[in-house]
Chain A
Amino acid sequence: MTRSISPWMLLCCLLLLAGCGSSAGTWGWYVINPSTAQGQSNIRFLIGGFGATILLSLIAAGLSMLIGLLVALPGMSSNKWIRLPSRIYIEFVRAIPLLPMLFWVFYGLPVVMRSFGMPVTIDAFWGAIITLAISDSAFTAEIYRAGIQSIPKGQTEAARTVGLSYTQTMRYVVLPQAIRRILPPLANQFIYIVKMSAFASVIGMQELTRRANELVVTEYRPLEIYTLLILEYLVLVLIISFFVRWLERKMDADESR
């Protein structure tokens, strides 16, 4: 934790010093100076994007974890015809870059839906969520698979011999043990989603990046505004890492209870 903060702190201090030291230079911190009314309203506008970024990431990550599990489970079947759709899904989804997929979902999917007689409109928020969730689910599926396959086969066999069904075996025996190995990589994926949510700005979603872009257009101070934007993401990611570590420690404690 401290290791990851200190270089950033150093960088921030340097940037601030650079800004304060040479008022005649290229830095213009006044745009986000909290002691002026203009700076305050700019900052309020920028951090107003937190809600959307967080909500977007949380829903997308939740859906991705759900889809990922539904894709991963048949992917571990001993029957290759059950395995196949899961494999295809993972390979296919993993191959699509996020931005083209976002465009396809936002501009293309409503057209497809209409042609099937479902006149839906997809707004920027849900367009971004669908894209992030699907795109990420290929990776979460692989994380689940690795975690579940790391549990010895004897566990499943023992569960089946005491009469548990497949679902019960997963629910009560395999997943509770796999979760410890799944959680850290899953948290990394969540961090990835938070960062990738910035793409939602290109379809007009009012999240952190979109707001920064809009402010840059009116204020024309890209360096300062984007610096703050990066710091906003940094704070968000650090909070997530902190939470995950706390969760891991708690699970360790529970296990050695």
Chain B
Amino acid sequence: MSAERVIEISSLNKSFGDFQVLTDVNLTVSLGERIVVCGPSGSGKSTLIRCVNGLEQFDSGRIVVDGISLAEPGGVDRVRAEVGMVFQQFNLFPHLTVLENLTLGPMKSRGLSRTDANALAMMYLERVRIPEQAEKRPRELSGGQQQRVAIARSLCMKPKIMLFDEPTSALDPEMISEVLDVMVELAEEGMTMLVVTHEMGFARKVADRMVFMDGGEIVETGTPATVFEAPKSERFRAFLDKILQH
């Protein structure tokens, strides 16, 4: 299979002051591939995916997204046009209605008319199953609904790649599945996804590849079937033991 490489991360290094967050990280993602990144907190997994769309800068190495290097002039903006992102804290715009949250990007950065943007937004709100909340403010919604709005907001920009930074970590347990369901559907439609999460059930169901990080390095990668059955490294085994206990 010679699938198109949409993300190429090579020899990535980053530090916050004296603290080395990422050490020689290499990762290639093909079009349509779903990758789940896991690891203990502070392992650099969030920093890694935040580097992909330029929310974090890195010290050395190279990131190429869909043929665009982040280092080239204007690269970050062009990459962001291809990459959607969903945050742990949703980061919806509290002063706008749900519909306005969705239409802001398409109207201001892609120049859509209000009518077109509204139609696009309603289409995606229906896909995440909350069209009836369109006129509400984000804080009137539950956490699960807010995160689904955030996903719809990203999709409105028609991204080629979606990044998820612990999308269910801030949610009450009963709301996690409604968000994961939407993500599973997205995966089934063939979206290229890079997901940081501790939801191992989700990983098992959709991930083509698991990436385990610890101490700023990629310690192990493999298909869910192989890594869950027989993790090669002791660190991954210990990590899985801890999170699968519950």
Could you list which residues of chain A lie within 8 angstroms of chain B, going by C-beta atoms?
152, 154-155, 157-165, 168, 172-173, 176-177, 255
Contact = CB atoms under 8 A, between A and B. Distances in A.
B80 A161 contact: yes
Interface majority SS on A: helix, strand, loop or mixed?
Answer: helix
A154 B95 contact: no
B95 A162 contact: no
A161 B109 contact: no
A168 B87 CA distance: 20
Contacts of A160: 55, 80
Contacts of B91: 152, 154-155, 157-158
A168 B94 contact: no
Interface string B4-45: 000000000000000000000000000000000000000000
B55 A161 contact: yes
A161 B53 contact: yes
Given A158-B91, A164-B109, 17 more contacts: A154-B87, A154-B89, A158-B85, A158-B92, A158-B153, A159-B104, A160-B55, A161-B84, A162-B104, A162-B156, A162-B157, A163-B80, A163-B110, A163-B157, A165-B77, A165-B109, A173-B93
A163 B93 contact: no
A177 B87 CA distance: 19
Contacts of A158: 85, 87, 91-93, 150, 153
B81 interface: yes
Given A154-B87, A172-B104, A161 B93 contact: no
Size range of the chain B interface in the assembly? 20 to 34
A162 B154 contact: yes
Nearest to B92: A158
Contacts of B87: 154, 157-158
B61 interface: no
A163 B108 contact: yes
Contacts of A163: 80-81, 105, 108-110, 157
B128 interface: no
A165 B85 CA distance: 16
Contacts of B154: 161-162
Contacts of B55: 157, 160-161
B63 to A, nearest CB: 15
A168 B154 CA distance: 17
B83 interface: yes
A188 B54 CA distance: 39
Contacts, number: 60
The 4 closest A-B pairs by CB, nearest first: A162-B105, A163-B109, A158-B91, A154-B91
A255 to B, nearest CB: 7
A161 B161 CA distance: 12
Nearest to A78: B57
Nearest to A176: B95
B76 to A, nearest CB: 9
Nearest to A256: B137
A162 B108 CA distance: 9
5 contacts: A158-B87, A163-B108, A165-B77, A176-B95, A177-B94
A162 B109 contact: yes
Contacts of B157: 162-163
A162 B85 CA distance: 8
A163 B104 CA distance: 9
Contacts of B83: 161
B151 to A, nearest CB: 12
A165 B104 CA distance: 12
B55 to A, nearest CB: 5
Contacts of A165: 77, 109
B98 to A, nearest CB: 14
Contacts of A176: 95
Of A157, A159, A161, the most chain B CB neighbours within 10 A belong to: A161
Contact of B85 (A155, A161, A173): A161
Contacts of A157: 55, 85, 87, 91
A254 to B, nearest CB: 9
Of B89, B105, B153, B156, the most chain A CB neighbours within 10 A belong to: B105
A177 B95 contact: yes
Nearest to A180: B95
Contact of B105 (A152, A164, A177, A255): A164
Contacts of B93: 155, 158-159, 173, 177
